[in-house]
């Protein structure tokens, strides 16, 4: 049983004890003897505790994580004839693999909390149906993070939630702490040729907009993305991760994005730590990792507080730096002014961030 369940149970018990004491106090007069109140008063008092406890339990039930998540699902007949076909299913981190099998680890890497899944169809038709999956990721950054691993630069983007896109068979978007996927079986393009009067793409869009409207607050990307320079950035290529960035356990809380530098496709990574000391430790670990991988470390002056360049087979030329609580670098970095300009722009953004704080 979760801590929240224990708290709720304790509160219900406390309410019952309070009501029993109140009933006894109202029914009995304690003095030299005991005086029993009239029958009418006693019956009224006996009914009160059950009513209050039931109302309290109902109020608490509306606040459970499952109830909050279920409330985000599309309403029946939001679109004429479209209704939920079965009771929603819920999954947590322990059984998510039963629903999405191997992809469960991707979500667990972003501290997945809970999923509600529901099937909708048009007047019970098996051919015209969609599945709505709403993932509670526990935090806004986590929801954006898992979303960023699913999107790709050339995707068919739409304005739903913080950002959304269509795949061949689904609409996916994020907003707040939620990642949402609305999907069907088969190709949307092929299916919608047969459904010209009610295209599934339109149904998914309406469902998505409806869910988004129920999610309170704004869609805010992790702050670290704001330090990425605009020049050369490949739109929608940034992927945010909580840990194990590029497979390295010491690289945490960061972003990896594609850049075009002097005609070369390169990758920029940037990570942030709670303190400069932890950042320096991660920087040194990264230097050691590349050295152990066959790279010759060459220290570079005047870039951040510490910087080096090296070359390894799997990354190409690497230039990495440490500045304050940040560690960053460019992979497959061509030699020339383009790489220098990108590093200067990143460091300038970080300088401004340091001044703001």
Q: How far apart are CA 256 and CA 272, in angstroms?
A: 12
How many other CB atoms are found less than 10 A from the CB of residue 24? 11
Question: In the prediction, which pLDDT does 63 show?
Answer: 78
Query: Which residue bears the tokens 């019952």?
Result: 16
* Residues linked to residue 326 through DSSP beta bridges, in sequence order: 272, 323
CATH class of 67-214: alpha beta
Segment 146-173 mean pLDDT? 96
Q: Above 90 in pLDDT, residue 185?
A: no
How many other CB atoms are found less than 10 A from the CB of residue 14? 10
Q: What CATH number should be reported for the domain whose range is 223-356? A: 3.40.1000.20
Decide if 308 contacts 302 (C-beta within 8 A): no
Q: Find, among 129, 120, 8, the residue nearest to 57 by Cα.
A: 8
192: pLDDT confidence band, cut at 50, 70 and 90?
low
Cα–Cα distances (Å) from 280 to 33, 263, 284, 310, 325, in that order, read 78, 32, 6, 18, 8
Q: Above 50 in pLDDT, residue 33?
A: no
Q: Find, among 181, 62, 176, the residue nearest to 115 by Cα.
A: 181
Q: Which two tokens stand for residue 18?
A: 């309070």
State what percent of residues in the chain have pLDDT above 90. 71
Query: Which residue bears the tokens 């994005």?
Result: 257
Q: How far apart are CA 177 and CA 65, in angstroms?
A: 13
Decide if 116 contacts 73 (C-beta within 8 A): yes
Domain spans in the chain, listed from the N-terminal domain onward: 3-63, 67-214, 223-356
Query: Which residue bears the tokens 């560690």?
Result: 327
Q: Above 90 in pLDDT, residue 3?
A: no
Q: For the chain, what is the mean pLDDT?
A: 84
Decide if 271 contacts 327 (C-beta within 8 A): yes
* DSSP, res 224: G
Segment 300-311 mean pLDDT? 96
Q: Above 60 in pLDDT, residue 300?
A: yes
Burial of residue 206, with CB atoms counted within 10 A of its CB: 0-12 exposed, 13-18 middle, 19 or more buried: middle
Strand 89-92 vs strand 114-122: parallel, antiparallel, or unpaired? antiparallel
194: pLDDT confidence band, cut at 50, 70 and 90?
low
The reply to whether 223-356 shares the fold of 67-214 is: yes
- The residue among 45 and 156 whose pLDDT is bigger is 156
Decide if 179 contacts 135 (C-beta within 8 A): yes
Q: How far apart are CA 147 and CA 114, in angstroms?
A: 16
Lowest mean pLDDT among 25-39, 64-78, 82-96: 25-39
Output phi, psi for 75, to 5 deg.
Answer: -75, 145
Decide if 147 contacts 173 (C-beta within 8 A): yes
How many other CB atoms are found less than 10 A from the CB of residue 351? 13
């Amino acid at each position: 049983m979760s801590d929240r369940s224990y708290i709720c149970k304790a509160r219900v018990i406390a309410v019952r004890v309070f009501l029993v004491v109140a009933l006894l106090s109202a029914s009995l007069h304690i003095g030299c003897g005991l005086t029993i109140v009239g029958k009418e008063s006693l019956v009224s008092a006996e009914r009160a505790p059950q009513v209050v406890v039931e109302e309290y339990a109902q109020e608490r039930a509306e606040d459970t994580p499952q109830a909050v998540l279920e409330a985000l699902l599309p309403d029946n007949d939001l679109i004429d004839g479209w209704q939920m076909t079965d009771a929603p299913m819920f999954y947590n981190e322990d059984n998510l693999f039963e629903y999405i099998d191997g992809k469960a680890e991707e979500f667990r890497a972003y501290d997945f909390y809970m999923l509600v899944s529901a099937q909708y169809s048009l007047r019970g038709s098996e051919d015209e149906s969609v599945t709505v999956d709403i993932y509670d990721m526990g935090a806004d950054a986590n929801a954006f993070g898992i979303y960023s691993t699913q999107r790709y630069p050339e995707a068919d983007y739409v304005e739903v939630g913080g950002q959304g896109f269509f795949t061949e068979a689904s609409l996916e978007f994020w907003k707040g702490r939620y990642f949402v996927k609305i999907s069907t079986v088969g190709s949307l393009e092929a299916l919608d040729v047969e459904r010209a009067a009610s295209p599934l793409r339109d149904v998914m869009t309406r469902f998505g907009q409806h869910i988004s409207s129920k999610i309170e607050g704004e869609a805010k990307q992790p702050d670290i993305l704001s330090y990425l320079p605009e020049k050369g950035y490949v739109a929608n290529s940034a992927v945010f991760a909580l840990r194990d960035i590029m497979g390295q356990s010491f690289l945490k809380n960061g972003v990896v994005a594609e850049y075009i530098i002097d005609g070369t496709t390169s990758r920029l990574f940037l990570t942030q730590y709670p303190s400069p000391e932890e950042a320096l430790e991660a920087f040194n670990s990264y230097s050691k990792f590349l050295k152990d991988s066959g790279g010759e470390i060459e220290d570079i002056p005047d870039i951040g507080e510490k910087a080096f360049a090296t070359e390894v087979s799997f990354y190409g030329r690497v230039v990495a730096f440490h500045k304050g609580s940040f560690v960053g670098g460019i992979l497959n970095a061509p030699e020339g002014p383009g790489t220098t300009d990108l590093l200067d722009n990143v460091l300038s953004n970080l300088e401004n961030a340091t001044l703001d704080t």
